[in-house]
Structure 1
């Protein structure tokens, strides 16, 4: 497929350097008008503190400054050449807030750039930076055009220039360029196959960047000889940069790794012949970035959110227990495990004495879709909440599960909450939790229960977050 010309892409250079509010739960009152109010209130309070801490714009304000003829980023100084340019390039769910913060900080020093966001998510528009929209989680023709545009902008730069790259979660779909020999349709189907297979995001990214003309360090090659600064937000357990901002850092995996993942997951035969031929081609090489000057900074990680949630739990009079910053498993087992731990703690006082809050952020729950299952019928966090409900029955516990980007499984909800009364309320409403979970249709059940968490687009992405309140806290 031929990429659309840049003039046909949705773009804007109008507006003013703006600020966006920190992420928040917009329907808190509705979530507290039923169920167990005290533990619900505590779980939502703690979860919202975690969301607010994930704000990448605030992190940029703390870490980036211009001092004389130097750009200071996380304490490291970069000389600004009198004739040099600073350009911002990026894509992802957290990219808009980073770009807006850079506009405010850099002012006249900023010579423009291009960023790509999810369609309909642009709550504000940069003044100096071109803004494009594309599809997520499955790429479309705008995703191809956006990737081409970023490569064009990168190719315009020279050794006196600095590129600030802000690639964050979601960039794989928003900027998706198939390599030679692979069609855009086949690459889109590869994304759909991987996302529906229940794989860890690290494995998904390994495959996607080996089937790309943009990812795997290929943008960094186009940027050279300009200097490259990466500002990003971790949406991967373990915070591996080549799985987070992979267009602009060295690629630590190989085509053989991608092939091994597809074979081990019994997916090799399901991918298009052109993709198999591409991965097996002896001419396919991993880009060498040894000559590119790269400085990478993680603005926000799961640890950032967990620390904020723990502090909020203590303020509420509850003991925080940070369980994980890298929990990766299917949603159902995660929900059931956390429910079991919380139930025993509430009933027996062990392993965690009430009041307590079980906390985690930075991992990602998945759903393995079967034949006939569709994206948008629910999401992993909604499914985790429903899976937790039977195990929480009759306990003084509430569990909130949230996708920090505000869109759980591509839906309009960020996640859901369940408590000790949820299973009883579901039965009274005629909702069969077992069949709902088996069919991965959590969305309809969550809507009927009124337990969906609405944040709207948060303009960040630190993977999934959970807060399980055991008791309601001291105050």
Structure 2
């Protein structure tokens, strides 16, 4: 697959930044990933370093969801063909499958159509027996795309809670601790629904450190969080949640409700999990592309997190060090990072973590003629916007008034309009993958 970036590239630095972004996103696309990690050979399904004898199973079923789910489903159909007996995945950009149904859902806030699509996935999984092989598609975004509200929690209540969590600045592990205790499918729920089948979980991770309990809210792995943990998150961020949500979390904390399945639960006895792609998949490809363009690449980290606008300052500071002292690499250089930054929403503007990252970087880079920074979400949608991110340089905010306007926009969480006005926005459309953020800082000597 080829990624098209709708943005201007006025200099070689811009062209290099875009080439790195394209290489990273394309390397993490399911078509590319499954080509090298999943195959059928002599009646055995090979997934990474594991093999499964297809003769042991009466049925092969595919189920799951997330932003990369359509691509994974299409790639599985090419590998397995008519060996797949049935399947259904939920995604926000569904395609057309021959043996696997592509069902619609919404992100980042769950929707009614997502609930209905999830019911169809669950119904398919519950038909599984001990002679069924379930290929569970688990990709970033499934926390919202695969909603299955728990008893007593309405979709509206789940939506209000999700919106509050997303605006709070909470880290994804904290957000998902709450969501796992308001759902029947998260926190090991998918594995429980599919038991006693053999479940092979195919994971595209969008979580720093690949914490499998956090990716897509951990539908096929043990949940190490508790109702008490979830309630603590709500209280820590002072969230005003619906009464049904607080009541459920308080009852669970008091031991009146059954917990999510924990380590050692027999529902996981026949579950294998394989992380097929993650943020470093994209970073590694971007690093190789930078080298091919004649730049010395340096991966700063694949695990950058925290407030987006503050993390951007650190990235720019590394670039300044490169120019001043030649550390940690000599220019011309490309300094790369990945991970997942957050935004604490205090205003009512339009933006996302990568847009705030880029706008904050533009303030720091003002007047610097030797550097370009691009920051995108690899799924093509930054936060709740329809853009992937932005590219900035020392000319983006040359005037003092422009820098003041940028700071005001950041205070309102309104990065998109200003970056769009400066012709800095990067649009890719849905990319078919999701391995979190990718950031590229290109630095020349002159």
Task: Tell me which interval the TM-score lies in, with the shorter structure as reference length.
Answer: over 0.9
Aligned to 1:152: 123
Equivalent position SS for 2:46: strand
Which of these residues, 6, 21, 44, is aligned with residue 70 of structure 1? Answer: 44
Aligned to 2:195: 224
Alignment of 1:179-328 (within 5 A): 179-245=150-216, 246-267=218-239, 270-281=240-251, 282=255, 283-287=257-261, 289-292=265-268, 293-328=270-305
For residues 200-245 of structure 1, give each alpha carbon's deviation from its aligned partner in whole angstroms, at most 9, with x where no partner exists. Answer: 1121111111111211111111101111000011100010111114
Which of these residues, 124, 131, 136, is aligned with residue 102 of structure 2? Answer: 131
TM-score w.r.t. length of structure 2? 0.93
Quote the offset at 1:459 in angstroms: 0.9
Equivalent position SS for 1:321: strand
Q: Distance in 2 between matches of 1:330 and 1:199?
A: 10
Equivalent position SS for 1:408: coil
- Correspondence 1:367 to 2:343: yes
Check conservation: 1:166, 1:232, Cα contact below 8 A.
Answer: yes
* C-alpha distance 208-472 of structure 1, shift in aligned 2 (>3 A): farther
* C-alpha distance 227-425 of structure 1, shift in aligned 2 (>3 A): farther
TM-score w.r.t. length of structure 1? 0.88
Once structures 1 and 2 are overlaid, which stretch shifts more, 348-357 or 62-71? 348-357
For residues 154-189 of structure 1, give each alpha carbon's deviation from its aligned partner in whole angstroms, at most 9, with x where no partner exists. Answer: 111111110001121111111111111211111111
Equivalent position SS for 1:280: helix
Unpaired stretches in structure 2, ≥5 consecutive residues? none
Q: Distance in 1 between matches of 2:158 and 2:213?
A: 20
Runs of 4 or more off by more than 6 Å in structure 1? Answer: none
Check conservation: 2:191, 2:267, Cα contact below 8 A.
Answer: no
Check conservation: 1:340, 1:392, Cα contact below 8 A.
Answer: no
Q: Distance in 2 between matches of 1:251 and 1:351?
A: 39
Aligned to 1:9: none
Equivalent position SS for 1:144: helix
- Correspondence 1:393 to 2:370: no
Aligned to 1:106: 80
Once structures 1 and 2 are overlaid, which stretch shifts more, 61-70 or 185-194? 61-70
Check conservation: 2:57, 2:133, Cα contact below 8 A.
Answer: no
Equivalent position SS for 1:229: strand
For residues 276-306 of structure 1, give each alpha carbon's deviation from its aligned partner in whole angstroms, at most 9, with x where no partner exists. Answer: 1111222231225424301111111122222
Check conservation: 2:24, 2:285, Cα contact below 8 A.
Answer: yes
Alignment of 1:441-460 (within 5 A): 441-460=414-433
Equivalent position SS for 1:89: strand
Which of these residues, 316, 321, 330, is aligned with residue 339 of structure 1? Answer: 316
Check conservation: 1:86, 1:111, Cα contact below 8 A.
Answer: yes
Equivalent position SS for 2:25: helix
Quote the offset at 1:132 in angstroms: 0.9
Check conservation: 2:189, 2:260, Cα contact below 8 A.
Answer: no
Check conservation: 2:5, 2:18, Cα contact below 8 A.
Answer: no
In the alignment of these two chains, the number of paired residues is 437
Unpaired stretches in structure 1, ≥5 consecutive residues? 1-20
Q: Distance in 2 between matches of 1:253 and 1:423?
A: 44
For residues 97-122 of structure 1, give each alpha carbon's deviation from its aligned partner in whole angstroms, at most 9, with x where no partner exists. Answer: 1100000010110112101111xx23
Equivalent position SS for 1:212: coil
